[in-house]
């Protein structure tokens, strides 16, 4: 009986944590309209792998490891861009390939599954509470910068004339993506984090009539895919990460039948 309660509590923590991360990841993803941003989202997920490898090797939290390596990676891309004037895409590819190589060298074979597809079995009350608070903060930040980001996605000049600091907004947005990717690796691993950000927004875009619907549905699809994926994983005993992504892509393919 006690074991059942414990397992259910564990399930509840996993559902809450993943729904928070998935919802906010979907909401953030709704702004990823340019090719460059979508590429960045994918690359950042892979960039986290050395951080996860070190976290697992030295016994600290995987999201913390992922966040530290993301800060290092983004700073490296930014510094190399200033130094070399090469396109961000090329530099992101260089940094991400290097970090992947480092991860493969140091990742212990017992930790490969956790690093690549995530692990929800060790989610505690503290992790759930921290995830909830951080997710709410990121949601509020994105909601605040959303109008400016929307305007600058049409024309940076128009946004600047309206008094929007486009560079600052981009930086804040990228920082929010980094935090959400770092939290996402716990649930779906370093390989599939980009899907948390990209698929709910793509699904929502297929069926939305306007921006308000689009952003709200992105959040909803992200949260529901994660909650459903974790529940199905609990029932089927299959990996939570793949189940979440499969739920998310099922919503996407279903949305094609209702495409506006």
The verdict on 199 binding other proteins (CB under 8 A) reads no
Interface residue with other proteins, options 5, 35, 83, 236 (CB under 8 A)? 35
d(CA 26, CA 39): 16
83 near other proteins (CB under 8 A) = no
CB of 138 to other proteins, least distance (A): 19
| Number of other residues whose CB lies within 10 A of the CB of residue 149 | 20
Residues 198, 117, 48, 10, CA torsion sign: positive
The CB-of-176 to other proteins minimum distance in angstroms stands at 17
Could you say which of 6, 87, 133, 147 contacts other proteins (CB under 8 A)? 147
86 lies in the site for other proteins, by CB under 8 A:
no
If binding is defined by CB under 8 A, does position 150 make contact with other proteins?
yes
DSSP 8-state secondary structure symbol assigned to residue 163: T
- Cα Rg for the chain, rounded, in angstroms? 18
Q: Which helix (H) or strand (E) holds 73?
A: helix 62-84
The answer to whether residues 177 and 74 touch, using CB atoms and an 8 Å cutoff, is no
64 touches other proteins (CB under 8 A): no
Give min distance, CB of 101 to other proteins, in A: 32
| 167 contacts other proteins (rule: CB under 8 A) | no
Stretch that binds other proteins, among 1-9, 27-35, 93-101, 227-235 (CB under 8 A): 27-35
- Distance (Å, whole) CA 250 – CA 196: 13
Residue among 71, 112, 214, 232 that touches other proteins (CB under 8 A): 214
H/E stretch holding 55 reads: helix 49-58
What is the C-alpha to C-alpha distance for residues 132 and 224, in angstroms, rounded to an integer? 15
Choices 47-55, 59-67, 154-162, 176-184 (CB under 8 A): range interacting with other proteins: 154-162
Nearer to other proteins, 106 or 214 (CB): 214
53 vs 141: CA distance, rounded Å: 30
Binding-site member from 2, 121, 210, 236 for other proteins (CB under 8 A):
210
State in angstroms the smallest separation of the CB of 89 from other proteins.
15
- The piece of 41-49, 178-186, 204-212, 249-257 that touches other proteins (CB under 8 A) is 204-212
Quickly count: other Cβ atoms within 10 Å of residue 237's Cβ.
6
CB 200 within 8 A of CB 221: yes
Residues that bind other proteins (CB under 8 A): 30-31, 33-35, 147, 150-151, 153-158, 160-161, 205, 208-214
């Amino acid at each position: 009986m006690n074991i059942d309660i414990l397992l259910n509590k564990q399930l509840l923590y996993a559902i809450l944590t993943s729904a928070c991360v998935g919802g906010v990841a979907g909401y953030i993803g709704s702004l990823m309209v340019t090719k460059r941003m979508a590429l960045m989202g994918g690359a950042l997920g892979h960039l986290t792998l050395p951080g996860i490898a070190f976290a697992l090797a030295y016994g600290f939290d995987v999201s913390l490891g992922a966040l530290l390596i993301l800060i290092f990676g983004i700073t490296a891309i930014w510094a190399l861009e200033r130094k070399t004037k090469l396109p961000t895409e090329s530099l992101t590819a260089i940094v991400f390939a290097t970090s992947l190589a480092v991860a493969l060298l140091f990742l212990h074979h017992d930790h490969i599954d956790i690093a690549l597809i995530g692990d929800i079995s060790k989610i505690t009350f503290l992790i759930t509470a921290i995830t909830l608070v951080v997710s709410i903060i990121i949601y509020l930040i994105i909601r605040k910068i959303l109008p400016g980001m929307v305007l600058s996605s049409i024309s940076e000049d128009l946004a600047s004339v309206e008094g929007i600091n486009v560079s600052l907004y981009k930086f804040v947005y990228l920082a929010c993506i980094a935090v959400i990717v770092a939290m996402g690796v716990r649930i779906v691993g370093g390989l599939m984090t980009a899907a948390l950000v990209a698929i709910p927004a793509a699904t929502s875009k297929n069926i939305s009539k306007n921006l308000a619907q689009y952003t709200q549905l992105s959040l909803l699809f992200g949260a529901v895919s994660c909650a459903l994926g974790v529940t199905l994983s609990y029932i089927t005993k299959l990996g939570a990460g793949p189940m979440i992504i499969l739920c998310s892509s099922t919503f996407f393919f279903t949305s094609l039948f209702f495409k506006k």
